[in-house]
Structure 1
Amino acid sequence: MAPLPDLLPDLLPDTATVPFARDLAGHGDRPAIITADGEMSYRALAARVADTAQRLGRHRRLVLLAGANTVDAVVVYLAALAAGHPVLLVPGDNPAAMESLIAAYDPDVVAGPTDGRWQVDERRAISTHALHPDLALLLSTSGSTGSPKLVRVSYDNVRANAEAIAEYLDIRPGDRAATTLPMHYCYGLSVINSHLARGAGLILTELSVADACFWELFRDRRGTTFAGVPYTFELLDRVGFAAMRLPHLRYVTQAGGRLAPDRVRHWATVGRRDGWDLFVMYGQTEATARMAYLPPELAASHPEAIGVPVPGGAFRLAPLPDHPDPEAGELVYTGPNVMLGYAETRADLGLGRTVDELRTGDIARRTPDGLYELIGRRSRFAKILGVRIDPQRVEAALDRHGLTTCCVGADDELIVAVQGGDGDVGRVRRLVVGECGAPARAVRVCFVTELPRLPTGKPDHVAVRELARTAGAPAPRSTPAPAPGPVDLCRLYAELLDRDDVTPDSSFVSLGGDSLSYVEMSLRLEQALGRLPVGWHALPIRELRQPPRPARTRGRALETSVALRAVAIVLIVGSHIPLFTIKGGAHVLLGLAGFNFARFHLTDAKRRQRVRHVAGSVARIAVPSMTWIALALLATDDYRLTNVFLLNHVLGPRDGRSEWHFWFIEALVAILLTLAAVMALPFVDRLERRIPFGLPMALMTAALVARYDIGGLRPDVPISSPVVVFWLFALGWAAGKATERWQRLAVSVAVLATVPSFFGAPEREALIIAGLWLLVWVPSLPSLPALNRAAGVLAGSSLYIYLVHWQVYPRLDEHSKLLALLASLALGIGYARVAASAAARVSAALRPLRERAGRVVRRARTSFPVAGGGNSPAGG
């Protein structure tokens, strides 16, 4: 057998090889491979590599290698590199992925175990592929082990990255690295490359760090280093690594994902105590392996940083105009280890360099100390119901609360898989909402014994999505959703209403639902159940069942109240522009507000609960309204402070310019506040329960005094004043309580008798009459799924559209009235999403205070019981 340096030059040119693979014999008798069975010197390894290289021959062939931490796999890998044969590395423990890549790339040689024996199967002597002379390796990106998309790595890439890593780690000939990661994973492969480049030893093993035998081997073979991904460090915690005595350990490296800063600080402290260094590193397969490292002396003081570029590399930050941090940018890397490009078919194997720099997809910033920090990832961003969310940031926040999680965006929800934990879904959801502002109803929490992971130890995001689906997540929108049972509906109610106390006996109204959440709830239930029963909002969840549905029907039902809100807001904005003139929509909405007041607030709940529900609805109307008007006041001279505080109808000014812009909101808030105060009176509460239909009819009759100006109050009291328009609200209230036919007839007659002549505009009055009659007599309208979704968005955003359109359409109507309408609707919908996100954040922040207050109240009631009446419907 000829020495390796004398043999290989006759096979392929020097330029098509990697020096550390060709020059193995130069390290003489130093140990190269160390196993439980003994040691193999560099000289002996070089001889085995030469034998295999000679077998692979002079003609370049594509070698598919089943990567494994075994001597046979390392020998074939080094032989192919040394002799200039491109290597396609695949996971040796995944036969399906291996077969998939064989079918996709048709390798000339396949090396791997067959029936328990290592074999090299030469499928053809001369390659049928056009192989670029620089092509050395084909590697799967992390998580895509069966995907035909591969990273094309050159010989220069492999050499440069191995040398850079060996330099900053100060790898020495006496070092011995344990192979704690798979060979087919670029991080695990880089450990092999960098140590062979310096003549160091490899403790070759496929044992896990969780196995006591691994540590026995590591200690007996005088191991000096090992590599770990974040999951590895979880295992180290479990096996008590911090208390182990490892006298030869010199340093530990970490990469393959973000290790939480507190864990970095912890392990750096442990290492400093025990005499070893922690190197936190950052890389991607597209950079052959490593791009950055954090000098170990900075690990404890800068645990959130990835550090500085590896020797020979450089970073820049590409601007991100839409990112909230102006100093952040996408991290872009340049260096001799940047891949040639991607391969997706065998034809791509002949390509040369198609990539000069690597856009990492990670969002980073540079600190004043010159260190780089990752603050998110562009490709993992999810847009959940209009809120842009970084799952990595959510994971970091939950980690600070002691939760090990994996977060994945899917459709219109954020899936949060939690490892272990106490099963408190509500707590996790509140933490997520408080961190990122996602609507609580869009956060799906799944508790698992162990997070699904790839062979590399990284979280398996695909498996997490599947986990949520099999655990009862809604089906994708492209397929019909299955009919959920009571448990599934309980989950839906809990998500949409942000409640963690939902049971099959709960109803929408008992859980505090109101008109603002009613729209989305009704549409989601209609999608799940087909057609909602009349009065579903008051029914216990257990009574909601999917009725029989004719096959192949695409029809849906749209609740009349939702349809009226959607149509009314379009008519209001369009008439103000004016794109058309169809007035009366705001007064229909006022009647609808009374209708919803009856359905959602006048329930069987205790008096105090009723009052709290009404007050909550007032806040959800008033706060976004006052916020928007205040912003408009700062930006324009259209409004006054009386507008901001919704008191223009009381305090003026009556200048005709802004007096009536927000009359509807002012009237609604004033009416609801008055009714909250009145309903807080015990005798009024009892009267409403005794004559639920008679009370609003009586109040409507009394309100006709102002409607017909019987006392001669006008013109001092404007027609938009709450006292004048209250009769319409009362009519809607009566409609909501009309359960008998004669009651609906009475409301219809009252509408017909009182609406005409109010404006002196028959068309406007006819629209109001038609809208209120529909509300009384037609619970739902035939519709289609797409129409339902559009109506739901418009109805749910109607308040916000009403607010913003005053500032939007005057700037566009001269150019295009239709554009003015569409822009008003779009910006109103956008404001609704922003307001919902802000409300969710505030709710999450206040929840602990509310819970503490509740506990104080419960303790006080226990210590000082109140005698009598506390549990009666009118009590409290």
Structure 2
Amino acid sequence: MALVHPSARLVDAGSGAVLSGDALTAAIAMRVEALAQLQSGVVFARFPNDVESVLRYLAGWQALRPMALIDPGLPAATLADLVERFEPALVTGVIGSPPPGYRVVDDALLGPLWERIARPAHEPHPALGVLLATSGSTGNPKFVRLSREAITANATAIAEALHIAPEELAPTNLSLFYSYGMSVLNSHLTAGAGVLVQSHSLLERPFWEDLARYEATSLAAVPYQYEMLRRLRFDPAKYPRLRTLTQAGGRLRTELVTDFHARMQTVDGRMFVMYGQTEAGPRMTTLPSARLPEKLGSVGPAIPGGRLSVKLEDGSETSQPGITGEVIYRGPNVMMGYAERAADLSLGDEQGGALVTGDLGWLDEDGYLFISGRLKRFGKVFGVRLNLDDVEKLLRDRGPVAAVSGDDKIVIWAEDAEDDVRREMASELAEKLNLHWSGFDVRNIDSLPLLASGKVDYRALEKAI
């Protein structure tokens, strides 16, 4: 299952160096050989956005070593807990003293790493390819177990759905340990295209300088970043080669979908809205740019090889148009299951290619999916059950907001909201939902806390109540 097409290339934004063809193949092969000299088993790869980290990931893939893609900013205590629970053979990109049972190895190609002294007690399943954490740097993360087939199937399907051509060049503005960032990397390498490896965010000037200097052709972003792009007055005409925008990682306001689609249309460009979950490796749908205006609000049909249905309250499933239920996705990219400890890494496929998403939605007559909310995102006000996603949608024209459940009330965090604005927001919700305003506690926050994925960190907001 090749992940790197012969024409794929890596461009180092810092040095301008390009790795492609035989040079890229050789660079990966040397790291494969280095891995072969070390303890066998799962590799925990701390994964900053740099070329060396990408080469280690690709070497692990070629060496048939399952790779856990780890946030390099993960707190030391959380990393230590993961190492203790999962007993990886290697931990790359590390600093400091190793935990008990590990020794430090400073490899010329792989860099500093921790190597497990004793052979791991549990052999990973031979189909296992990638492990991705489910909850960023908070809580007690568990891993999504993705097979090699799931990774390659999804990369191929995304490349087909987005029409990624060999001349394309995508920047790594998203974290590569995050499923969306990983999918941008995988889909472009699979399609024989280029990846501009850089570490700056959309809010940093060097990012835009690199985008122009290397003539990047696409940009992937999550909803919060599109809010920032509008504030930055993003103009695609400034970047003659940038002709594709993609959006995933949560619901983007319809107003902004229309806005950015129109901006791209002025330069004969494309805007794609996508939907996915880490558990699907990660993409499940893509809304074709050409059909965006007529299907506004949809996240598109299933990607090639996938199938959608909705589950009703009686447990039955249907693909009939207009019926709302819990979204079910089936496809070769669905995870094998979760892992909470080392023994789980030996398990086979527990999903059978089916993913119960936890999202509510419905299909139209063309099989296009419309997401209406999150099944578990509910709160109560005076005994009335409210969908928190719906509460947020009612206030989206007032800027970034996030709703969480309080004690028989809904707490809404709003960025840079003065006292009078907060009172207006509470009154607006009360009127629209026919409830007393005291059930809505609107609070000011300088900026909403975000996970590495760019999604709102609701757990942090709940803890702040």
CA contact (8 A) 1:384 1:413 kept: yes
Of residues 156, 166, 186, the one that matches 2:159 is 166
Of residues 212, 225, 233, the one that matches 2:226 is 233
Deviation per residue, 1:784-830 (Å, 9 max, x gap): xxxxxxxxxxxxxxxxxxxxxxxxxxxxxxxxxxxxxxxxxxxxxxx
In the TM superposition, residue 321 of structure 1 has moved relative to its aligned partner by 6.3
CA contact (8 A) 2:379 2:387 kept: yes
Question: Are residues 1:429 and 2:429 paired?
Answer: no
What letter is aligned with 2:58? L
Please, which runs of 5 or more residues in structure 1 have no aligned partner?
1-17, 470-876
Residue number in structure 2 paired with 1:34: 12
Deviation per residue, 1:38-75 (Å, 9 max, x gap): 12222222222111111221874110011111112111
CA contact (8 A) 2:183 2:282 kept: yes
Corresponding residue pairs, total: 442
Residue number in structure 2 paired with 1:416: 412
CA contact (8 A) 2:271 2:289 kept: yes
Residue number in structure 1 paired with 2:99: none
Residue number in structure 2 paired with 1:286: 279
Residue number in structure 1 paired with 2:251: 258
- Write the mapping of 1:778-817 to structure 2, written as runs, cut at 5 A: none
Of residues 368, 374, 377, the one that matches 1:371 is 368
- Write the mapping of 1:83-94 to structure 2, written as runs, cut at 5 A: 83-94=63-74
Of residues 76, 79, 91, the one that matches 1:98 is 79
Alignment partners' CA distance in 2, 1:361 and 1:144? 22
Residue number in structure 2 paired with 1:56: 35
Q: Aligned in 2, Cα 1:303/1:144: closer, same or farther, shift over 3 Å?
A: farther
Q: Aligned in 2, Cα 1:95/1:238: closer, same or farther, shift over 3 Å?
A: same
Question: Are residues 1:45 and 2:24 paired?
Answer: yes
What letter is aligned with 2:271? L
In the TM superposition, residue 113 of structure 1 has moved relative to its aligned partner by 4.3
Q: Aligned in 2, Cα 1:433/1:81: closer, same or farther, shift over 3 Å?
A: same
In the TM superposition, residue 382 of structure 1 has moved relative to its aligned partner by 2.1
Q: Aligned in 2, Cα 1:125/1:76: closer, same or farther, shift over 3 Å?
A: farther
Of residues 261, 270, 294, the one that matches 2:263 is 270
Residue number in structure 1 paired with 2:300: 307
Question: Are residues 1:206 and 2:186 paired?
Answer: no
Deviation per residue, 1:575-620 (Å, 9 max, x gap): xxxxxxxxxxxxxxxxxxxxxxxxxxxxxxxxxxxxxxxxxxxxxx
Of residues 376, 387, 391, the one that matches 1:390 is 387
Question: Are residues 1:360 and 2:357 paired?
Answer: yes
Question: Are residues 1:340 and 2:336 paired?
Answer: yes
Q: Aligned in 2, Cα 1:121/1:52: closer, same or farther, shift over 3 Å?
A: farther
In the TM superposition, residue 164 of structure 1 has moved relative to its aligned partner by 0.2
Deviation per residue, 1:691-750 (Å, 9 max, x gap): xxxxxxxxxxxxxxxxxxxxxxxxxxxxxxxxxxxxxxxxxxxxxxxxxxxxxxxxxxxx
Residue number in structure 2 paired with 1:328: 324
Alignment partners' CA distance in 2, 1:244 and 1:107? 47
What letter is aligned with 1:33? V
Deviation per residue, 1:137-196 (Å, 9 max, x gap): 111125465533111100000010000000011111111000111011000000010011
Deviation per residue, 1:725-780 (Å, 9 max, x gap): xxxxxxxxxxxxxxxxxxxxxxxxxxxxxxxxxxxxxxxxxxxxxxxxxxxxxxxx
**Deviates most, 90-99 or 271-280:** 90-99
Q: Aligned in 2, Cα 1:113/1:33: closer, same or farther, shift over 3 Å?
A: farther
Deviation per residue, 1:289-322 (Å, 9 max, x gap): 1000111112233321111000000000111369
What letter is aligned with 2:57? Y
CA contact (8 A) 1:104 1:148 kept: no
Of residues 450, 453, 456, the one that matches 1:456 is 453
What letter is aligned with 1:50? A
The 3-state SS of whatever aligns with 1:307 is coil
CA contact (8 A) 1:60 1:84 kept: no
Residue number in structure 2 paired with 1:73: 53
Deviation per residue, 1:548-572 (Å, 9 max, x gap): xxxxxxxxxxxxxxxxxxxxxxxxx
CA contact (8 A) 1:265 1:300 kept: yes
The higher-RCO structure (CA 8 Å, 6+ apart) is: 2
The 3-state SS of whatever aligns with 1:265 is helix
Alignment partners' CA distance in 1, 2:16 and 2:377? 45
The 3-state SS of whatever aligns with 2:177 is coil
Please, which runs of 5 or more residues in structure 2 have no aligned partner?
97-105, 316-320
Deviation per residue, 1:214-234 (Å, 9 max, x gap): 111011101001210011112
Alignment partners' CA distance in 2, 1:170 and 1:218? 20
CA contact (8 A) 2:40 2:89 kept: no
In the TM superposition, residue 415 of structure 1 has moved relative to its aligned partner by 1.1
Alignment partners' CA distance in 2, 1:226 and 1:112? 27
Q: Aligned in 2, Cα 1:138/1:435: closer, same or farther, shift over 3 Å?
A: farther
In the TM superposition, residue 243 of structure 1 has moved relative to its aligned partner by 6.2
Q: Aligned in 2, Cα 1:144/1:388: closer, same or farther, shift over 3 Å?
A: farther
Residue number in structure 2 paired with 1:380: 377
Alignment partners' CA distance in 1, 2:444 and 2:433? 20
CA contact (8 A) 1:264 1:300 kept: no
Residue number in structure 2 paired with 1:108: 89
The 3-state SS of whatever aligns with 1:446 is strand
- Write the mapping of 1:108-147 to structure 2, written as runs, cut at 5 A: 108-114=89-95, 118-124=111-117, 126-143=119-136, 147=140
CA contact (8 A) 1:176 1:223 kept: yes
Alignment partners' CA distance in 1, 2:10 and 2:137? 31
What letter is aligned with 1:197? T
Q: Aligned in 2, Cα 1:295/1:243: closer, same or farther, shift over 3 Å?
A: closer
Q: Aligned in 2, Cα 1:145/1:133: closer, same or farther, shift over 3 Å?
A: farther
Alignment partners' CA distance in 2, 1:145 and 1:70? 24
The 3-state SS of whatever aligns with 1:166 is helix
What letter is aligned with 1:47? A
Deviation per residue, 1:664-716 (Å, 9 max, x gap): xxxxxxxxxxxxxxxxxxxxxxxxxxxxxxxxxxxxxxxxxxxxxxxxxxxxx
In the TM superposition, residue 439 of structure 1 has moved relative to its aligned partner by 4.2
Q: Aligned in 2, Cα 1:40/1:125: closer, same or farther, shift over 3 Å?
A: farther
Alignment partners' CA distance in 2, 1:278 and 1:415? 33
Alignment partners' CA distance in 2, 1:343 and 1:464? 26
CA contact (8 A) 1:269 1:300 kept: no
CA contact (8 A) 1:142 1:185 kept: no
TM-score, normalised with respect to structure 1: 0.49
The 3-state SS of whatever aligns with 1:88 is strand
In the TM superposition, residue 35 of structure 1 has moved relative to its aligned partner by 1.7
The 3-state SS of whatever aligns with 1:110 is strand
What letter is aligned with 2:460? A
What letter is aligned with 1:54? E
- Write the mapping of 1:673-688 to structure 2, written as runs, cut at 5 A: none
CA contact (8 A) 2:243 2:264 kept: no
What letter is aligned with 1:139? L
The 3-state SS of whatever aligns with 2:251 is coil
Residue number in structure 2 paired with 1:606: none
Alignment partners' CA distance in 2, 1:75 and 1:145? 28
The 3-state SS of whatever aligns with 2:309 is strand
Is the strand fraction higher in 1 or 2? 2
Residue number in structure 2 paired with 1:476: none
Residue number in structure 1 paired with 2:439: 442
Q: Aligned in 2, Cα 1:243/1:71: closer, same or farther, shift over 3 Å?
A: closer
CA contact (8 A) 2:322 2:363 kept: no
Q: Aligned in 2, Cα 1:343/1:193: closer, same or farther, shift over 3 Å?
A: same
In the TM superposition, residue 351 of structure 1 has moved relative to its aligned partner by 0.5
What letter is aligned with 2:342? R
In the TM superposition, residue 411 of structure 1 has moved relative to its aligned partner by 3.5
RMSD over aligned CA atoms reads 2.1
Q: Aligned in 2, Cα 1:451/1:301: closer, same or farther, shift over 3 Å?
A: same
Is the helix fraction higher in 1 or 2? 1
What letter is aligned with 2:2? P
TM-score, normalised with respect to structure 2: 0.90
